[in-house]
Structure 1
Amino acid sequence: MDKTIPMTPVASSNIAAVGYQNGTLAVQFTNGRLYHYSDVPPEVYAEMLAASSVGKYFASNVRGKYPAEQQGRQQ
């Protein structure tokens, strides 16, 4: 199964880009690590994109709340 999710760059000191597809939220950190979070409702992705601080939204609403799987490093 192809796990490639289109990514949108974001303005954040910790997060480089985010993407969403079929309940999976993809988060690429500025250190190059890419994680997929499963069972994420679409409104969480929309709220994350609209947040004044993407990093703070992620820390409060995603990290530790959804199953995560590291996908590796992106260049």
Structure 2
Amino acid sequence: MRAQRFPQSSMIDRIGYDDAAGTLSISFRDTGKYFYHGVPAALFDAFCHAASAGTFFNEHIKDRFRCVRDPERRRFGPNA
């Protein structure tokens, strides 16, 4: 898996890409990790070089690919 961190982004902590599965994982700072299926490798590469990770996500990823919340994420708190 290839990965990229975004320390300057207030929205996205890091992204990862599984070339074999065509799956992009995005770790959001506030809501956790999500998997986006069917994402082309070229889009991951462009994401890594984007001036703004949040803007790139909103313009090129959000609502364009099937999305699944990380099934390994454990929920804590009163509403868990």
TM bin, normalised by shorter chain, reads 0.7 to 0.9
Pairwise CA distance, 1:7: 3.8
- In the other structure, the counterpart of 1:9 is 5
Choose 1 or 2 for highest CA Rg: 2
Runs of 4+ with >6 A deviation: none
Give per-residue Cα distances to partners, 1:4-27, cap 9 Å, x unaligned.
Answer: x56421131100000000300000
TM-align CA RMSD: 1.5
Report the TM-score when normalising by structure 1: 0.83
Partner of 2:33, secondary structure, is: strand
Q: Percent identity?
A: 26
Show the 5 A alignment for 1:33-52: 33-52=32-51
Structure 1 residue identity aligned to 2:5 = P
Pairwise CA distance, 1:59: 0.5
Structure 1 residue identity aligned to 2:9 = S
Structure 1 residue identity aligned to 2:26 = V
- In the other structure, the counterpart of 1:56 is 55
Structure 2 residue identity aligned to 1:66 = F
Report the TM-score when normalising by structure 2: 0.78
CA distance in 2, matches of 1:64, 1:55: 14
Structure with the bigger RCO (C-alpha within 8 Å, sep 6+) is: 1
CA distance in 2, matches of 1:19, 1:7: 4
* Runs of 5+ consecutive residues of structure 2 not aligned to the other structure: 75-80
CA distance in 2, matches of 1:6, 1:32: 22
